[in-house]
């Protein structure tokens, strides 16, 4: 019987607003794309989420990816407010699932910097039954240890959980531990798949 929903945060409950973040800082489209390629789409970003490197080390890593953008890279992340934007349905969705008798948790690859600078967009967390954030644990998905951690911390049985993430690789990792998984495309699709899984488990 399904008792728990485990939600990713990025591109499930909040939009990763990275392009608009860069253009909102005054950079033109070409520069914004160049900044994206040096940061968001690189292995260094995973280290930002993992929380082991210092923020200075992260910025140094971005600069190594694109030395000609050093000045921009050393200033653009001073304030990351606006880097994510909460979906309007986020808090209501968490609350409605809880009202249906489910417990709701979050499991996310996310950085300390984003959590601090974008705190207002993370307000839905107060409605959950708990959460595991990568930077606090020094672990990132799809490492199976981060899935084991949330199960152990909150006393959850894998077969009683559904994990929802927009990245297929992460969902596969959860399924390998016996957790039901849904690759998120939109809220309606996820709700329909939750209901299908719950009916099949009765």
Per the prediction, the chain carries an average pLDDT of: 96
- Its pTM stands at 0.95
The tens digit of pLDDT for each residue in 122-168 reads: 999 999 999 999 999 999 999 999 999 999 999 999 999 999 999 99
The domain spans of the chain are 4-14+87-201, 18-76
Say if residue 202's pLDDT is above 70.
no
Beta bridge partners of 165: 183
Which of 94, 133, 129 minimizes the C-alpha distance to 115? 133
**What's the mean pLDDT in 167-178?**
98
Determine the 3-state secondary structure of 61 from DSSP. Answer: helix
The tens digit of pLDDT for each residue in 18-64 reads: 889 999 999 999 999 999 999 998 999 999 999 999 999 999 999 99
Cβ-Cβ contacts under 8 Å for 88 (sequence gap 6 or more): none
The C-alpha angle with vertex 21 and arms to 32 and 67, in degrees rounded to 5, equals 40
**Chain center to CA of 156:** 20
176 phi and psi, to 5 degrees? Answer: -65, -20
Cβ-Cβ contacts under 8 Å for 99 (sequence gap 6 or more): none
Does the domain spanning 4-14+87-201 belong to CATH 3.40.50.1000?
A: yes
By CB atoms closer than 10 A (0-12, 13-18, 19+), residue 200 is: exposed
Determine the 3-state secondary structure of 93 from DSSP. Answer: helix
Contact 66, 30 (CB under 8 A): no
Q: CA-CA distances (angstroms) from residue 5 to 33, 121, 131, 143?
A: 35, 20, 11, 19
First to last CA, the chain: 6
Give, for 30, the enclosing helix (H) or strand (E): helix 29-38
Which of 110, 113, 145 minimizes the C-alpha distance to 131? 110
């Amino acid at each position: 019987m399904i008792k728990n929903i485990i939600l990713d945060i990025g591109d499930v409950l909040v939009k990763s607003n990275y392009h608009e973040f860069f253009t909102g800082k005054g950079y033109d489209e070409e520069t914004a794309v160049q900044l994206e390629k040096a940061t968001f789409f690189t292995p260094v970003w995973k280290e930002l989420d993992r929380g082991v490197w210092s923020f200075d080390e992260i910025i140094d890593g971005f600069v190594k990816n694109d030395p000609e953008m050093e000045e921009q890279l050393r200033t653009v992340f001073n304030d990351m407010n606006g880097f994510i934007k909460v979906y309007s349905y986020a808090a209501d969705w968490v609350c409605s699932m809880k009202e249906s008798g489910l417990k709701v948790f979050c499991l996310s690859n996310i950085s300390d910097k984003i959590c601090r600078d974008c705190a207002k967009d993370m307000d839905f967390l107060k409605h959950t039954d708990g959460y595991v954030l990568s930077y606090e644990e020094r672990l990132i998905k799809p490492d199976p240890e981060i899935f084991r951690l949330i199960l152990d911390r909150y006393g959850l049985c894998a077969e009683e959980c559904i994990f929802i993430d927009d990245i297929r690789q992460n969902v596969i990792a959860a399924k390998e531990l016996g957790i039901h998984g849904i690759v998120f495309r939109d809220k309606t699709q996820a709700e329909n798949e939750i209901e299908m899984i719950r009916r099949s488990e009765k």
